[in-house]
Amino acid sequence: MTISSGSEPGIIRSVPMRLEFLNGDWKKAREALAREGIGIIFQSVASVEPHTATIHVSRDDGEAAAKALAAAGVSWERPTPYY
């Protein structure tokens, strides 16, 4: 996990990965990341449509996480806000 220093103390920098929740991708993603030893910093599931989940991993693990999700057949995208 990367915690910035200097002008932004206490800010946790992460790679957010948005994926589908209802089709089981969230569970598959968690299992794939655990197999690779990649920790999840934070995760959330939207209670409104489109019912997506967002998993945050450290910046150092971002590329490895993307490869692990691809190997598990999980598609993801960078989050965009919705209201």
The predicted pLDDT at position 5 comes to 47
Confidence of residue 8 (pLDDT cuts 50, 70, 90): low
Exposure of 82 in the CB half-sphere (CA atoms within 13 A): 13
pLDDT for res 7: 57
Q: What is the pLDDT of residues 34-80, one digit of tens each?
A: 999 999 999 999 988 888 999 999 999 999 999 999 999 999 999 88
pTM above the 0.85 mark? Answer: no
- The DSSP bridge pattern shows strands 42-45 and 12-20 to be unpaired
Distances (CA, A) of 30 to 10, 18, 22, 75: 26, 12, 14, 13
Distance of alpha carbon 28 from alpha carbon 14, whole angstroms: 20
Domains of the chain and any CATH numbers:
2-71 (3.30.70.260)
> What residues have CB less than 8 Å from 41, skipping those under 6 apart?
1, 12, 14, 56, 57, 58
